[in-house]
Structure formats: C-alpha cells, structure tokens
Structure 1
Amino acid sequence: MKHILVVEDTEDDVFFLKRALKAAGITIPVQVAVDGQQALDYLSYSGAYADRERYPLPFLVLLDLKLPYIMGFDVLRWIRQQPPLADVKVVVLSSSQQEADIQMARTLGCNSYLVKPVTAEKLASLMQSLEEGRVDAFLSPSASQNA
C-alpha cells in the first residue's frame, strides 16, 4: 500500500494539506514529520520509526524547505544520496517563488516544486502527473500557480 510522508513544521499547513488531499479524493495514508531530523529518522528506520509496519516507506515525500534542525534542502540532498530511496518521489512545497530556490530543488533531485498554498486541484493534478510519470510542468512558479 502506498503512503505519503509530509515533512512540515507548521500545524496549520499540515491540516490544510490533509484537507486538500481529502478534497482531491486522495485517500493514501499520510504520516507527518515535523522537522528535518524526524524526516531523516523516519526514512532511515531510526529510533521511534524503526517499525516499518507502523511507519512504512513512503512512495511520496511532500517536503517543506524551511524546517527546524535540518533544512529541507539538506533533507532532499540526503534522500537522493540513499540508494534504497531512489524510487521515492519528492515534491517540494514552499512559499518561496524564487527561481534560485526552485533551481536548487531541481539540482538536488526533487520531482516537483509546488508553491503554497496547495489547493485540492493542484494536488489532484500532481498525483495524476506522478502516476503518469510527468512532473516537470510543476517546476516553475508560474506553472505551479496555474496547476
């Protein structure tokens, strides 16, 4: 069964993201890591996340960039350096529309970049694109605004 890992430190953003997933008809189970260190622990089976049955490897990570302890760019870099995580899709969710941030995320290996706030329509379109193997359309601020 597929799972999504949301890496987001803002409780309101997590709430609205889950609500948008539900509104988009996406019923995939969601786990949440509230900072970069928790994300790394989750993805590396460490500490409280050692039970893979309870905390399965996600097929998709929705990653904020501005996180406590370990920043999103560092989490993304780490994920892409782990061979067992090679098939995990990483979508950056950020309030930043700066081309430098988008380019850095692309260079580090994100599959897509969405600018917050994320609507149900954006998530539905993203999930369809991921299923079809098409994600490049989301890698620019103007495209993510219109998606």
Structure 2
Amino acid sequence: MNQKKSVVILIADDDLDDRIMTQEALNDYNVINQVKSVEDGVELIDYLRHNGKFNNPIENPRPDLILLDLNMPKIDGREAIKIIKSDPDLRSIPIIVLTTSKSDIDIIKSYDLGVNCFISKPVTFTRFIEVIRTMGKYWFEIVEFPS
C-alpha cells in the first residue's frame, strides 16, 4: 500500500532537538503532512482550544494525531492526556506518547488515561528515524483518522 494521506501532526515536546528530529524523520518518510509543534503542556492545551497565540484555526488546524512527550514543563504530558481525553471535543484525537520514559508505571498510566500508543524514544538517531518510519507506516498508511 503506497497511499499517502494528508494529516496534521502536533508534536508536544519541550526538547527542541527532539522536535526537529521528529519532524525530519517524518519528512524523510515523505508523509504529506503539516507538522506543528508546541513546547509544553499549556501550549498544547491552548493550541487545541485555539487560545492565545493559537487563536487562528487556519494557521493552527485541529491535529489528526498528537505526538506527546510525558516530561514537559507547566502541564506535563500525563495531565495533558487527562485534559484532552476528558474534553468531548478533543478526546477523539489519537495520542502517541513519544518519551524517554521506559517506566512500567508511565506505560500503564498512559494507556489507562486513553493514549493510543506508547513509544520510548530510542537513544540513537538512526534507531529514532527507524521507529518514526515504522510509526508513520502504520499511522499514515493503515489507520483511518476521524474526520
């Protein structure tokens, strides 16, 4: 299957290098997408609700998929998941946790809160690219997103 879907991906990660690496990996995969990013949980919620600097829904479209780091400042990923999944307007957005954590507690709690996938960030760039490509193949060629 070589079908490409146009999707909006929102990366929520406080680490600029990780945001850049993720975007480069997605670009390498050649997904037709619009990648947006936020630096912390407050920006994530503001983006999703079109508050503050994210008030323009054309510039800041609803994401089809959120790539979420758990360990962010202001509102961490765990709390952001609770907020998103308890909001009837947002809860249908798939969330992939993409984090350095390998903690069983974080994995179990993330799934309990309603995430669709939990991925521990690989240490090497090559492995990271490989993981993002595999994730891309699944999420962008196989999965159907809600409209």
**Same-fold call, TM cutoff 0.5:** yes
Deviations 1:91-142 (A, max 9, x none): 00111111111001000000001111362332232233235349xxxxxxxx
Q: Which runs of 5+ in 2 are unaligned?
A: 1-5
TM-score, length of structure 2 as denominator length: 0.84
SS at the partner of 2:89? helix
**8 Å contact 2:97–2:118 — kept in the other structure?**
yes
1:82 & 1:96 partners in 2: Cα distance?
26
Moved over 6 A (4+): none
Deviates more, 1:8-17 or 1:124-133: 124-133
Shift of 1:19: 1.2
**8 Å contact 1:9–1:68 — kept in the other structure?**
yes
Is 1:127 matched with 2:106?
A: no
- 1:1-147 pair list within 5 angstroms: 2-117=7-122, 119-131=128-140, 132-133=142-143
Q: How many residues align?
A: 134
TM-score, length of structure 1 as denominator length: 0.84
2:48 & 2:117 partners in 1: Cα distance?
19
Corresponding letter in the other structure for 2:139: L
Corresponding letter in the other structure for 2:89: P
The CA RMSD measured in Å over matched residues stands at 1.7
Shift of 1:43: 0.5
Higher relative contact order at CA 8 Å, sep ≥6: structure 1 or structure 2?
2
Q: Percent identity?
A: 28
